[in-house]
């Protein structure tokens, strides 16, 4: 299983800050993106700092983590 894209989400504001496709053929539709981000924000609230987990949506796996960011 390989990563297809990197998502950076501001969970305090529930908004996508950055998305970077890692594969040339990476495609995502708006409904799928909405599901992914909603699940990351929802599940991420219970994740400890500097840890990660994953979700499965439409038979695709998405890994996410909570890490300290520098301002």
> How confident is the model over 3-43, as pLDDT tens digits?
677 777 777 777 777 777 777 777 777 888 888 888 888 88
Predicted confidence at residue 2, as pLDDT, reads 63
pLDDT at 41: 83
Q: What is the CA angle 12-42-55, rounded to 5?
A: 125
Domain segments of the chain: what residues? Answer: 5-66
1: confidence class by pLDDT, cuts 50, 70, 90: low
Q: For residues 57 and 69, give the distance between their C-alpha atoms in angstroms, rounded to a whole number.
A: 27
Q: How far apart are CA 55 and CA 32, in angstroms?
A: 13
Tokens, residue 26? 């990476």
Higher pLDDT, 66 or 70: 66
Q: How far apart are CA 14 and CA 41, in angstroms?
A: 6
Q: What distance in Å separates the CA atoms of residue 31 and residue 58, rounded to the nearest whole number?
A: 11
């Amino acid at each position: 299983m390989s990563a297809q894209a990197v998502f950076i989400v501001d969970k305090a504001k529930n908004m996508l800050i950055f998305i970077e496709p890692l594969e040339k053929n990476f495609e995502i539709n708006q409904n799928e993106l909405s599901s992914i981000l909603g699940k990351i924000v929802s599940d991420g609230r219970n994740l400890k700092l500097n840890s990660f987990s994953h979700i499965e949506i439409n038979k695709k796996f998405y890994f996410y983590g909570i890490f300290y960011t520098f301002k």
